[in-house]
Structure 1
């Protein structure tokens, strides 16, 4: 009789469908709605940022500020050199 407890039994299982409660299903629907709303909001914000970026690029071209980053670095370097020269002159006088 003691060996009967030690024997391994195998059973075939049959899954009919998801075993979820009504509360879980309702919670999942609410979470899915929240996620969908957040996704839509993020997409709208992204579209708005893209529009703002395009407007900024257009206005920069209109004002002729559409320089490359290398051109900006060169201009900043030149201005920095001018400032250094002015400081040297003002310190020597």
Structure 2
């Protein structure tokens, strides 16, 4: 009653505006309400709720659960935005994969061209080796026939040495021919594998 009595005043005189301003400021202040008595019917949850209330019925904010203004104003992305972002991400990944496959395809094409040139070069070398080998075999046969028909002033030992030398040459060319043939076969297999891989990339 005493507080209400103090609030009563006459709206006249020189100081009435000052009293109105003081009362307004007093009512605008935030004060915590305290429980003077706790009944048996009051639960702990109700007591906690009462502690959090203030004189203008606005609950006090908890600093631990308080959120910033930016968080309150943040707009959650819609389902369409989420789908759009996922599509853009997948499109970017697919573009990178396509670029990688194009680079591999280009590199594979260069490898195939190089191997084709190498195979052609080996084939030409192989043909030349076959011609040289045939020529040596012909010379060897001619030499054997000449040795049987006439000595031509050479001893038997000289003929044997010459025959051995020619035979070594024939053996060397034979080995060279076999090595060249093996390399040619290996390159043809490698070229076939590269062509199959290139065809797979086109598909």
- TM-score normalised according to structure 2 size: 0.23
Tell me: higher relative CO, structure 1 or 2? Use CA pairs within 8 A at least 6 residues apart: 2
Indicate the structure (1 or 2) with the bigger Cα radius of gyration.
2
